[in-house]
Structure 1
Amino acid sequence: MRVDLLYALTNRSGDMSWGDVLTATRQHAVMADKLGFDGIWLGEHHFDTDGTDACANPVMLAADIAARTERIRIGLAAVQLPLWHPVRLAEDLAMLDHFSGGRLEPAFARGIVDFEVMNLNPEADRWSAGPSKSEAIFEENFEIMRRAMTMDPFSYKGERYTFPHPGLKFKAAMGAVEHPGYVDENGFMKGFGIVPQPVQKPTPPMYVVTESMSGFMGAARRDTGAITWYPTGKGLKDLFAAYQKELTERHNKQLALGERCAVLRLAFVAKTDEEARRVTESSVVAFAEYVNKVRRANMWLDIDEDPNDPNLAKIPMYDLMMERDHLMIGSPKTVIERMRRLSETHNVKHWLLQMGFPGIRGPELESSLQLFGEEVLPALRKF
């Protein structure tokens, strides 16, 4: 079983400087590395004055963390792919793979917060421009990025990009080795080299962050892994099954149900269940309400539940999320039992646990990390 930490740069109280937030991030990454977590994942969000996850460039931050850690995998969950130039991103990721000694694992998403996407690439906003256009931009950027990591010479012609730019002649340096396929008989560029190429071949392990059936099918079609947060119960099993079937049909790969699919959950460990709830409940509820507002739906229900059912409104949000397996929160014994049960029912073998969600302060997070590393991780390893 693989257990990773999803790390958000939170500062909900506003009482930390950016330097303080960055220092805490470094300390917690080193702590996770020493405690035995398998990976640490960083997200991308812009203009975050609310202190939910203030990380505008996860690639740069990951390079910093890679230099301070020894063995932990370095994940990006998620790079908002439509907001990047795809060739520049391929170059940056390849550099990061070298900086980390081949520990990089990037995941990609379209971007969900409208004021982030609209201010950086309004054409890619799923709410105003429509989901089909957003998906098309994602698809093209992904194809360019992957080709740039694997092709030499690299070339591409599509709806929004053409590489090389037409009409250019390659200007080789004096004494440079000739590169076949870069130019045509008239000296015009047919392709060019991307430097560097990643350490991991053909690319670092890639994922798509998604909660939808189309997203899982797209991940299988591209032969990437999938990371998901909200789906639970029957909905989660259906997504795993669809991914498994599509991967077999597209790529003739026989995987177990849930294999190459990572599950993200909010997590926190305290000495007792009561203490864990006391520390986290208000933060969990506030975060859940924020997610529902951003996503414009109740994200915590199973697919066969009616969000307008009046009986659901009577259940406190914390209890509803706990009952539907969104929270790996409690004493070490409780968290072990909850993770083992979901691993058994859904064959979850790869976890992303977000412990430092907004409202959880540094000392509380450090205590939870320590307890998890000392008491929960060893038990999960045996399982």
Structure 2
Amino acid sequence: MVAAQDLKLGAFFFGGVELADAGAGPPAPMDRRSTNEECWAATLDYVNSAIEAERLGYDSFWTTEHHFQYEGYEVIPNGILISTWIAARTTRLRFGSMFNVVPQWNPMRLAEDFATLHNLSGGRAMLGVGRGTVPREVLHLNDRGVSIGSQDNPDQAADDRRNREVFEESMEIVRRALGQERFSFHGEHFQVPIEGIPDRGSTVQDLTLIPRPLHPYEIWQAVTSPPTLEYVPVVGHGAVFWNQHHSFIKRFWDTYGERYAAAHDGVELEPHEKRMLVVSVRVEDTMEQARSSARPGHDEFWKFLGPYGWSRGYMGPDGRPSPPGLIPTLDESIENMTILLGPPDEVARQVQLLKDLLGFEHLTIFPHLLGDSYAKADEQMARFREEVQPLLT
């Protein structure tokens, strides 16, 4: 069991604007429109919160990658770029993106940019990767017509398959580019290098990434579906689990270890290795205050993301995953343990239950519920670090 003082504690912010009217009712997400000035102010506050995370002793700060969100929910379009600015203003903090949306990138550009950040920061970057959520983003940021589907939407199954194929080929290119002095790749969607390119009397046979990492690095990937759970341990990415019923996470957590061993000559990981839990938190003096404080941001979060299928990891009344499109209530999230709230001793009790269940070392909290001020998020980081973590064993 990992001791509490050895936890690698992270903080993950969406990076949205403050909302005075967050909650389950109107306005609908698509009816919101934040100003450019509001979005930029949120960006500056976001950087300041990363600096505050370092001051509080957090191990890591996780950013996002989202585009064209005039609603103001997620206003950081490039986690690598913003992390480079954070790196220049911190000395110890590690950082990554939850997640770089790989089908929106040229994979070689993603590898170059990550390697540059990693080297400039002295080896403090982590490469977080995912397949995306929002079709209006991914369709406008790749030239292959790749969209994003969901297992919850059978009519989008073809989009989901193609997205997964492009993602997996892209990640093979990224790993080769970062790890090999010379690399090439020939798949269904990518040919690297393109055949027949003349170059000073010959043709290009391979490429060399400049720069490559000068320090060891980690790759972390969101795991929310059975096909992803088949892939991630085989290629050796770390697995990130969030917004699933604790019993479903336990099943995925253990299955990851089993499949990792099967794919890596029987190497058995400790329960804490290469797996991370992300969980929303709200720490207040009483349970009633915590519920009241969390409800607006919780309900706005699910009003925004429920229609994209993000709640598919919740448990339904029959003990199986919930049906598509569930927009959970705060009580349902408390029951599923996707949000931990209450006074410090109660939040610590809930964290300890999950820690005993999973044996995690990497714990990342989500303290900035949608619409919260950054001052509130900073307060939540401080209360968790100073009042909750010391109660863990």
> TM-score if structure 2 supplies the norm length?
0.85
| 3-state SS of 1:352 partner | strand
1:108 to 129, 133, 156: 129
User: CA shift at 1:271, angstroms?
Assistant: 2.6
Q: Secondary structure at the match of 1:74?
A: strand
Query: 1:190-247: per-residue Cα shift (whole Å, max 9, x none)?
Result: 223211111223xx10011121122122110111111121222321121112211111
Residue 147 of structure 2 is aligned with which of 103, 113, 125? Answer: 125
Trace 1:188-267 onto structure 2 (pairs within 5 A).
188-201=203-216, 204-252=217-265, 253-257=267-271, 259-267=273-281
Residue in structure 2 matched with residue 136 of structure 1 by the alignment: 165
1:27 and 2:41 are equivalent in the alignment: no
Deviations 1:267-321 (A, max 9, x none): 122233222222111221221232221117654326824747xxx99xx811111
The size of the alignment, in residue pairs, is: 360
The structural deviation recorded for 1:365 is: 1.6
1:337 aligns with 2:349: yes
Q: Distance in 2 between matches of 1:82 and 1:103?
A: 24
Matched-pair identity in %: 25
- Inter-partner Cα distance in structure 1 for 2:165 and 2:270: 30
Q: Distance in 2 between matches of 1:188 and 1:291?
A: 48
Q: In the alignment, which residue of structure 2 is the partner of 1:283?
A: 297
Closer, same or farther: CA 246–61 of 1 in aligned 2, 3 Å = same
Please, what is the CA RMSD of the aligned residues? 2.2
| d(CA) in 2 for partners of 1:19, 1:30 | 17
Tell whether 2:11 aligns with 1:2.
no
Tell me which of 179, 183, 186 is aligned to 1:154: 183
Q: What SS does the corresponding residue of 2:290 show, helix, strand or coil? A: helix
Q: Please list the CA deviations of residues 43-64 of structure 1 after superposition, one character each: whole Å capped at 9, or x if unmatched.
A: 1111111111111111101111
**CA 1:113–1:12: 2 relative to 1, 3 Å:** farther
Amino acid at match of 2:58: F
- Mapping of 1:168-187 within 5 angstroms? 168-171=197-200, 187=202
Q: For residue 319 of structure 2, what is the amino acid of its counterpart?
A: D
Rounded Cα–Cα distance in structure 2 between residues aligned with 1:287 and 1:327: 12
Unaligned 5+ segments in structure 2 are 1-6, 20-33, 150-155
1:321·1:327 contact (CA, 8 Å) conserved in 2? yes
Q: In structure 2, do the counterparts of structure 1 residues 307 and 191 end up closer, same or farther at CA, with 3 Å as the change threshold?
A: closer
SS at match of 1:17: helix
Which aligned runs of 4 or more in structure 1 are off by greater than 6 angstroms? none
CA distance in 1 between partners of 2:298 and 2:187 (Å)? 44
Q: Give the letter aligned to residue 161 of structure 1.
A: F
Aligned counterpart, 1:328? 340
Aligned position for 1:366: 378
Deviation at 1:98, TM superposition (A): 1.0
Following superposition, the deviation at residue 161 of structure 1 comes to 2.1
Structure 1 runs not aligned, ≥5 long: 172-185
Contact 2:313 2:322 in 1 (8 A): no
Cα shift readout 1:23-81 (whole Å, capped 9, x = no counterpart): 21121111100101111111111111111111111110111111111111111110100
Which residue number corresponds to residue 11 of structure 1?
17
Pick closer, same or farther for the CA change 1:297–1:268 going to 2, 3 Å: closer
Q: 1:19 to 1:52 in 2, by over 3 A?
A: closer
Amino acid at match of 1:283: G
